[in-house]
Amino acid sequence: MLPSLKIKDFVLRVPIIQGGMGAGVSMAPLAGAVAKEGGMGVLSSVALDILTSRRVGKQLDTQQATRREIEDAKALANGGVIGINIMVALFRDYADAVKGALDAKVDAIISGAGLPVHLPEIVSSYKSKAKTALIPIVSSGRALDIICKRWKRFGFLPDAVIVEGPLAGGHLGWKDLKDIEKEENKLENLLTDVLETTKNYGNIPVIAAGGIYTHEDIVRILKMGASGVQMGTRFLATEESSATDEFKQAVVNCTKEDIIVAYRPGSPCGMLFRLIKQSPMYQDALQQKRPCLCNLGYVKFKNYCPAMDNNKDYFCICNGLITSTSYFDGSDEKPLFTVGSNAYRVDKILSVKGLMKELVHGKAFN
């Protein structure tokens, strides 16, 4: 059996955090099911104003939609732990998503795709008194050190930290393809680096992510000093995931060679982005057919999306990701399939209950 994991005021029976996959893959049905089985179910905040509004048939703004999605996930969780992943890179909606999460008294806010240095400032200045754990995502001990020093100004330290290696899906913490192949950037080495940094701040629980696939992987990484793991792709390929059937089948069908890291054209935020190369939207992007239509805006570009004008280096990932969720199944937009490096190992779609039993006990269950 795997050990439990305590973060701030809550305890996970199982030290597994389900990755907050956006847009629209990690919605209430998935997060609620994972939490019910003893892990942390995590929502993605990306485009919830669009997706949740469509799901409930009522127009909601970002703050309202975030609160509603969390409340619905909690209703399914049977007392389990619910978190939400809020991307720093999406400048326009960041503060409103944080406030909506606090309104709903979410158990944890996970934040990455940039350094969440302003998160405690938003939390401390807001009216809510929720006892929410704050968990940054980092790719180095140096990044954690920067966050801790900035957060201490507001009287905060991370309640846990997720260290994400280069085998993860979606956005990666590097901008150069050469960096993800370096020995020092392997998850095991990053974990050691971050664990060493936490000693300066009271031994913050460290969650390892990126390329973890089996029970044996979990046991190995826990023996290295991690307190838990975060897993995305395994939960993408579940019945409760809100990915379209097309997306799930693409995962089942893909080979190791089909999984690539997009660089030019790539994500508008400038970070490397792992996906299945046959994704229809990516194939259009290679022919520079993907101008940005949504302009959700990115921090580094001051709330502007460079894919609106530059299709050589960037393509609009937002619409493709939204189209890959079941809430937009049948859209005229072309989908984009983002996965972790081990997605080629998936050969069937499981229930969350079956997957969690496999991860906890190390053998397949019906």
pLDDT tens digits along 51-70: 899 889 999 999 999 999 99
Q: Percent of the chain at pLDDT above 70?
A: 94
Beta bridge pairs of residue 205: none
Both tokens assigned to 57: 């048939």
Among 178, 188, 354, residue whose Cα is nearest residue 261: 178
Domain residue ranges of the chain, discontinuous segments joined by +: 5-243+345-360, 245-344
How far is the C-alpha of 4 from the C-alpha of 208, rounded, in Å? 15
Q: Does domain 5-243+345-360 have CATH number 3.10.110.10?
A: no
Beta bridge pairs of residue 163: 138, 208
Q: Taking residues 258-286, report their average pLDDT.
A: 90
pLDDT at 366 over 70: no
pTM of the model as a whole: 0.92
Pairing of strands 81-85, 40-44: parallel
pLDDT at 219: 97
Q: How far apart, in Å, are the Cα atoms of 334 and each of 121, 142, 222, 279?
A: 38, 38, 40, 8
Q: Taking residues 211-217, report their average pLDDT.
A: 96
Q: Which of 12-16, 285-289, 340-344 has the lowest mean pLDDT?
A: 285-289
Strands (E), the chain: 5-7, 10-12, 16-18, 40-44, 81-85, 108-111, 133-138, 161-164, 170-171, 206-209, 228-231, 259-262, 273-276
Among 266, 272, 270, residue whose Cα is nearest residue 316: 266
The reply to whether omega before 166 is within 30° of 0 (cis) is no
Q: Taking residues 356-360, report their average pLDDT.
A: 96
How far is the C-alpha of 83 from the C-alpha of 86, rounded, in Å? 10
Q: Summarize pLDDT for 100-114 with one digit per residue, the tens.
A: 999 999 999 999 888
pLDDT at 220: 96
pLDDT at 329: 59
Both tokens assigned to 138: 């980092």
Alpha-carbon torsion, ordered 125, 135, 133, 201, to 10 deg: -90
pLDDT at 297: 58
pLDDT at 287: 86
pLDDT at 221 over 70: yes
How far is the C-alpha of 204 from the C-alpha of 158, rounded, in Å? 7
Q: Summarize pLDDT for 281-339 with one digit per residue, the tens.
A: 899 888 877 666 665 656 556 667 788 888 888 888 877 888 888 877 556 778 999 99
- Residue with the bigger pLDDT between 91 and 354: it is 354
Residue 94's φ and ψ, nearest 5 degrees, are -60, -55
Both tokens assigned to 300: 């580094």
Q: Helix or strand or coil: residue 207?
A: strand
Beta bridge pairs of residue 209: 164, 230
Q: Summarize pLDDT for 182-191 with one digit per residue, the tens.
A: 999 999 999 9
pLDDT at 176: 86
Tell me the three-class secondary structure of 235-252, residue by residue: HHCECCCCECHHHHHHHH
Give residue for tokens 């704050």.
Answer: 134
Q: Summarize pLDDT for 120-148 with one digit per residue, the tens.
A: 999 999 987 779 999 999 999 999 999 99
Q: Summarize pLDDT for 17-38 with one digit per residue, the tens.
A: 999 997 889 999 999 999 999 9
pLDDT at 301: 62
pLDDT at 26: 93
Count CB neighbours of 22 within 10 A.
28
